A and B are shown apart, each in its own frame.
Chain A
């Protein structure tokens, strides 16, 4: 399906270039359909050809190798943020499930946290570097990026896990109580397995959010080495080589797919916990 969708997208792109005049469609002075000239919309062959080009002035490797190394760098920052976000989100969900009063006190702030614009937050977190020492470790700029990733990733996990942990019907929780099961036994034997159908989609959302968080944070903070920075620097070269702009964007898209794909592997491993009434997502 993914392949088919990609082929369709590619065909649409080329069809647009074929049908729409180079300087777009205008009614009076108003541009109705965007320009399709080679600067605005390079041919797919040019876009993918750009991957083979040399980095600036013939020095260094190809564009492809810089995109790959940038994606790898950003992916690791996003993964660190994802891991921290999942742990925090899950612990919050556990606390909220255990004590209703914690849920009432915390949940509004959990929701509120996501309405703070990320762009506003990034420089603030960046300000910690050099001023903050955690467990004998100095706060490094990359940690700011991961922190913002975590900040975006924890939310779907907290909400999804809370729903999942609270999902067993009363008949099952009462049954465990009749068996004199401890809180921990109830968690491990009932609540955790029952939460899997809610956790998997939450983890997929969190993975995608972690990637977006990492890219936006890199741009906002100005951290070099990652794909966020590469998107900006290639965009600045757009007048010289318009086809190159798309290379890191494609890289970022692939990065998101890899992240979500990783969670899908977990999904497959936990297949038996998908109860029949829950659809897959």
Chain B
């Protein structure tokens, strides 16, 4: 049996509202993310990258096109808990401990208490939070809260991680450390990731492919392969890293005027 793609979008579009006031958020999206692949969606505000992620998560229904997650319709995949999700704000429940927050998705699906505990502690260990299991979210820094949110997203051992600017609110140092940790965790869990960001270096550092989008209406303008090998800290100073950043930047600007020159 061939492994189904983690995400397969075909001709996906989304309109908000109706009639002349309707806004076309995204249109004509074709995108396949293979199992285990790390793909970033990048583009200016209003290009529909978050909308696209929410369509994959089945938080909103597309107006047209087909959405398959792990080879199933998006709603089925949501009900089957095929993906884990993390947003820009950690959204931890204040009244639960760190461990209790990670256990939340497990408890909702009837995992027994002992197993919940074991799995949560294992994940917290993975995220380097083992010593904070019984802390309250308010006692943690922003970076640590976001790590708890990622541990929670991983709780059901999903084959797909959806992340909507999860490091957007963090300072640069924490951000880079979290990126390296995310790379490590993806390697350990083998999960595919769809990662929304508006930071070019972040997209390039993390991804195997960077999906460049443009606004009004939101659509994919280019998909750039990142020719980088194993990601370690040296990569951040490699030639190829900067070259790819330049490539993505130009794609975001709508490519060099040279490409647009032609017969007038």
Contacts and interface: CB of A to CB of B under 8 A. Distances in A.
Contact of B95 (A174, A177, A193): A193
A106 to B, nearest CB: 28
A120 interface: no
Nearest to A181: B108
* Max count, chain B CB within 10 A of own CB: residue among A175, A177, A272: A175
Interface in A265-279: 272-273, 275-276
Contacts of A169: 89, 91
Contact of A179 (B81, B93, B94, B138): B81
B91 A172 contact: yes
Given A171-B87, A189-B104, A189-B108, A178 B95 contact: no
B85 A275 contact: no
A169 B94 CA distance: 12
Nearest to A276: B138
A172 B104 CA distance: 12
A190 interface: yes
B152 to A, nearest CB: 8
Interface string B92-125: 0111000000001101110000000000000000
B100 to A, nearest CB: 10
A177 B85 CA distance: 11
Ordered nearest first, which 3 A-B pairs have the shortest CB separation? A171-B91, A275-B94, A276-B138
Nearest to A196: B95
Q: Is the interface of A mostly helix, strand, loop or mixed?
A: helix
A4 interface: no
Given A180-B79, A181-B108, A175 B94 contact: no
A172 B95 contact: no
A39 interface: no
Interface in B18-71: 57-59
Contacts of B94: 275-276
B78 interface: yes
A178 B93 contact: no
B59 A178 contact: yes
A185 interface: yes
Contacts of B78: 177-178, 180
A177 B57 CA distance: 10
Contacts of A174: 59, 87
B95 A272 contact: yes
Contacts of B79: 180
Nearest to B138: A276
Contacts of B59: 174, 177-178
12 contacts: A171-B87, A175-B85, A176-B108, A177-B59, A177-B78, A179-B109, A180-B78, A180-B81, A185-B108, A189-B107, A194-B93, A275-B94
A190 B57 contact: no
B86 to A, nearest CB: 9
Given A171-B87, A276-B138, A179 B95 contact: no
A172 B90 CA distance: 9
Given A180-B78, A189-B107, A189-B108, 4 more contacts: A171-B91, A180-B79, A196-B95, A275-B95
B87 A179 contact: no
* Max count, chain B CB within 10 A of own CB: residue among A180, A190, A193: A180
A171 B92 CA distance: 9
Interface string A109-134: 00000000000000000000000000
A171 B108 contact: no
Nearest to B106: A179
A276 B107 CA distance: 25
A190 B138 CA distance: 17
Given A171-B87, A178-B78, A180-B78, A273 B95 contact: yes
Nearest to A182: B108
A181 B107 CA distance: 10
Contacts of A194: 93
Contacts of B104: 179, 189
A276 B95 CA distance: 9
Nearest to B97: A272
Contacts of B89: 169, 171
A262 B78 CA distance: 44
A275 B58 CA distance: 30
B123 to A, nearest CB: 15
Given A177-B59, A178-B57, A172 B81 contact: no
A20 B34 CA distance: 90
Interface string B200-221: 0000000000000000000000
A32 B64 CA distance: 79
Contacts of B57: 178
A275 B92 CA distance: 11
A178 B85 contact: yes
Contacts of B58: 178
Nearest to B89: A171
Interface in B146-202: none
Contacts of A175: 85, 87, 91
A181 B110 CA distance: 11
